[in-house]
Chains A and B, each alone.
Chain A
Amino acid sequence: MSCGCLIAMILRCALVLTVALAAPAHSSELSGLPGEPRELAEGVWLFEGKREHFSRDNGGNIVNTGFIVTDAGVVVFDAGPSLRYGRAQRESIRRVTGQDVVRVYISHAHPDHFLGSGAYDDVPVLALPTTAATIRDEGEALTANLYLLIGGAMAGTRPQVPRTLDVEETELDIGGRHLRLLALDGHSDGDLALFDLRSGTLFAGDLVFFERAATTPNADIERWLAALANLDELPYKTLVPGHGPAVLGDEAIAQTRDYLGWLRQTLTDAAERGLEMNEVMRAALPEQFRRLAVFQAEWARSVSHLYPAIELRTLPVR
């Protein structure tokens, strides 16, 4: 045996040993916890989720949540996908700020955004009326479905119906911090955005996606585009999308707007040509969007969500 071979063998043994030692430590790590929060501006923090689909590996940590520190305690924007996430989020906030949470806003009724609210049963959890109604009516089904997708990270998670926030647009003063709430819709039938006037930070919820394809299970694209126009008028300095990195400019709103416009046009053109859904799913797709995270899967899902209504417009009643 040559010397080179021997060295290669030793290296391989070392590698196997390293993997063997590392594996148990990795598998005992809890999945689905938020990472370390990052301070975007004075007193404004972000827990950034992975740009992935739900999986057992990520345990549902695919969503952005955030919080704003005030003199009267901490305001949380979205509680994450599970009880485990919500508890870790609250613990992290206590550790970083030395304060507890006094209020939680839920952006909309998608499970990655509201199911962590079980960690806040002693704090007001608030959402738009449509959001509260959807969680009341479909919360169990949404929870069961997420169990199927992420498994053990959901342990103990139950849907909690938030209190209703009955506003069109409201400015609040919480502990010396001016916050503006915007009641919009389009991504779902109730989408709440939160704007911190002092820092100019806009938490846009899932009205904005960046570098990650938008999801459309309850989307109304016309209303969504109108909501984006609304957000774009705010004098924000930093924008936090529901999924994807925070940005300083308008590129996240622009990307979401371009994507939705393209989606609408492409599906309308396909319906006008008489294509059926599987044919549409196979269509060649532009590079501009193919580079977005999880684009291929979201494209197929969006065809399922949006095509039935669009194709009907091409079928006149006989």
Chain B
Amino acid sequence: MLTRLLCLAALVSALASFAVVADESADPLRSPLWSGMKARFFDADARVVFDERVRVTMPADAEDSLNVPVEVSAEGFTHIERMVVFADLNPIPKILEFEPGSARPWLAFRFKVEQATPVRAAVLDGDGTWHVGGAWISAAGGGCTMPSVAAGSPLWQERIGEVAARLWPREDGSSRLRFRVIHPMDTGLAAGIPVFYLEDLAVVGDDGSMLARLALYEPVSENPVISMDLPGNGPVRLQGRDTQGNAVSAQVAP
């Protein structure tokens, strides 16, 4: 009898974990700051649900707190307006916003972590509902309050905005885009170094159409390295600017 009850309980909890959970108190990551994050990132009357289709993948431990690799994916949605990625317990929680446009709803980047924290992706679908997924990263800390390497060296000023990039055409007709932009991405939290970061990046097709767009924030790692999957395999243009109006512009051919 007891065994049967336990089986039933296991079944119920398994079903619950697959279903969309609408109750905010059931934050699957049990973050102490979830209600604060909810108030900060979503309108008071917005519908916010936890959804297992939204996946955040990271190593369990931050080996380098200045460069935690994060992979975000949100497959199975008919339309995605945009995606917001944030870390509840970082001094600056918001990491980036991604409008996948015609790109695959998948993004990889690295960020600076200050202490162990949930990292979440929130996906706004076409009906105005936010779908949230995430994972914990454990970290010894210090990523956001350490000065950038560039802040201690004059060299970066000559190369700021320099883009290194490549397109990998795929057999299915899509392309993997990977790029690195030279930028200190200063958070403003290290003593004597003001906030200074790359804030806007767009990937534009050969015909001038917007393929995908990124808004970056302070926690993105210095010299950001970003990966995304684009439709087609023609050349693209990267264009953007930082918080002081310096432009970034580069042509990437496969």
Question: Do chains A and B stick together as partners?
Answer: yes
B27 at the interface (CB under 8 A from A): no
CB distance from B248 to the nearest CB of A (A): 10
B140 touches A318 (CB 8 A): no
CB distance from A149 to the nearest CB of B (A): 9
Q: Name the segment of A59-67, A246-254, A275-283 touching the other chain.
A: A275-283
Question: Residue of B at shortest CB range from A279?
Answer: B71
B252 touches A276 (CB 8 A): no
Report how far A300 CA is from B57 CA in the complex, Å.
13
CB distance from A22 to the nearest CB of B (A): 31
**What size tier do the contact residues of chain B reach?**
20 to 34
Chain A at the B interface: SS class: helix
Q: CB within 8 Å of A: which of B38-68?
A: 57-59, 63-64, 67
From the candidates B71, B140, B168, name the one contacting A274 in the complex (CB within 8 A): B168
**What size tier do the contact residues of chain A reach?**
20 to 34
Whether A317 touches B162, Cβ cut-off 8 Å, given contacts A145-B140, A274-B178, A304-B63, is: yes
B165 at the interface (CB under 8 A from A): yes
A14 at the interface (CB under 8 A from B): no
Report how far A84 CA is from B155 CA in the complex, Å.
44
CB distance from B140 to the nearest CB of A (A): 6
A318 touches B165 (CB 8 A): yes
Q: CB within 8 Å of A: which of B219-254?
A: 225, 227, 238, 250-252
Report how far A281 CA is from B180 CA in the complex, Å.
20
CB distance from A309 to the nearest CB of B (A): 11
A277 touches B164 (CB 8 A): no
Whether A311 touches B225, Cβ cut-off 8 Å, given contacts A301-B63, A318-B250, is: yes
A277 touches B63 (CB 8 A): no
Report how far A316 CA is from B254 CA in the complex, Å.
11
Residues of A within 8 A of B63 (CB): 217, 300-301, 304-305
CB distance from A147 to the nearest CB of B (A): 10
Q: Residues on B close to A: CB < 8 A? A: 57-59, 63-64, 67, 69-71, 108, 110, 140, 162-166, 168, 176, 178-180, 225, 227, 238, 250-252
Interchain Cβ contacts under 8 Å between A and B, 26 examples:
A145-B140, A276-B108, A277-B108, A278-B59, A278-B70, A278-B71, A278-B108, A279-B108, A281-B69, A300-B59, A304-B59, A304-B69, A308-B67, A311-B178, A311-B225, A312-B164, A314-B178, A315-B165, A315-B166, A315-B178, A316-B164, A316-B165, A316-B166, A317-B163, A318-B250, A318-B251
**14 more CB-based (< 8 A) A-B contacts, given A145-B140, A312-B180:** A274-B166, A276-B71, A277-B71, A277-B108, A277-B110, A278-B59, A281-B59, A304-B64, A304-B69, A305-B64, A314-B178, A315-B178, A316-B166, A317-B162
